[in-house]
């Protein structure tokens, strides 16, 4: 298994996580490849860095699932930048940045429908703001829900976004295309780090992420994306030296193909 390293020094590694690879195993996938198994294989000294996840298995026995140096996570089908700490001191240093929301994360996504321009304000500029708490779905244990209907406890969640482009998957439509052929290309900025946050918030405003297996509802897989059309494009954080560092992840092939096909003028 190969994962591209985007940045590396004595304290930190930033990986380019491919879509389809889990960050760490769970009870059902202990023998499957993951970012964690890649780290243990290629950076064995990181084995005891961080905080393992303790889970209960059949018979009440508890096991620890290693998460070597992993400070945050990405959904299995999300591609892009992932930070790993190389020692415990740096792990705690990065963890504090995540908890205080000083780390800046930028995502790119294709979503269904034409997302309207948000109302500009002095506070947010031209960014849209989704400030709606998230809780477990009452219907599906795998899912989360924003706003009414979510199970307690609710967790504050804040996502900002801008619309980069609106487009149709029909070539040269003579009239305004039906809503099923309307899409938007957005940039999202999660200010909190809740599970599935961008996916849940985009669904909340009726523009779920393209090809999302959980939250797209009855909509078809689209734009040639056979997986969740969400990419962790960049992350900005502070190094232990005090330097502010930004690392970007190149678009994977499926994103490149969709951009080239539908948005040839967009970078």
Catalytic residues: 75
The phi, psi pair for 97, rounded to 5°, reads -65, -40
The three-point CA angle 119-196-113 to 5° equals 45
Q: How far apart are CA 34 and CA 32, in angstroms?
A: 6
> Which pair of tokens denotes residue 79?
């591609």
Residue 234, number of CB atoms within 10 A of its CB:
18
Q: How far apart are CA 151 and CA 2, in angstroms?
A: 39
Q: How far apart are CA 64 and CA 26, in angstroms?
A: 10
Q: Are strands 4-8 and 79-85 parallel, antiparallel or unpaired?
A: unpaired
Q: How far apart are CA 70 and CA 266, in angstroms?
A: 33
From edge to edge, which strands make up the β-sheet containing 151-155?
144-146, 134-136, 151-155
The residues, any chain, with a CB within 8 Å of residue 103's CB and separated by 6 or more, are 94, 97, 235, 236, 237
- Say if CB 128 and CB 162 are below 8 A apart: yes
């Amino acid at each position: 298994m190969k994962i591209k390293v985007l940045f590396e020094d004595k304290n930190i590694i930033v990986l380019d996580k491919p879509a389809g690879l889990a960050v760490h195993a769970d009870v059902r996938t202990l023998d499957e490849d993951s970012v964690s198994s890649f780290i243990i294989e290629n950076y064995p000294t990181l084995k005891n860095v961080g905080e393992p996840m303790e889970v209960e298995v059949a018979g009440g026995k508890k096991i620890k699932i290693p998460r070597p140096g992993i400070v945050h996570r990405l959904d299995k089908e999300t591609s892009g930048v992932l930070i790993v700490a190389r020692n415990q001191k740096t792990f705690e240093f990065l963890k504090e940045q995540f908890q205080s929301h000083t780390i800046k994360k930028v995502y790119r996504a294709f979503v269904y429908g034409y997302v309207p321009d948000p109302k500009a304000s002095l506070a947010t500029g031209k960014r849209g703001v989704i400030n709606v708490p998230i809780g477990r779905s009452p219907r599906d244990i795998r899912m989360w829900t924003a706003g009414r209907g979510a199970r307690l406890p609710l967790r504050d969640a804040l996502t900002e976004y801008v619309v980069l482009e609106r487009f149709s998957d029909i070539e040269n439509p003579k009239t305004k295309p039906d809503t099923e052929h309307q899409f938007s290309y957005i940039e999202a900025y999660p200010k909190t780090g809740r599970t599935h946050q961008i996916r849940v918030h985009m669904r909340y405003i009726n523009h779920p992420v393209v090809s999302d297996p959980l939250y797209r509802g009855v909509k078809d897989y689209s734009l040639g994306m056979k997986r969740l059309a969400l990419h962790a494009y960049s992350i900005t954080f502070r190094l232990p030296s005090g330097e502010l560092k930004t690392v970007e992840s190149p678009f994977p092939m499926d994103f490149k193909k969709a951009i080239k096909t539908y948005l040839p003028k967009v970078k």
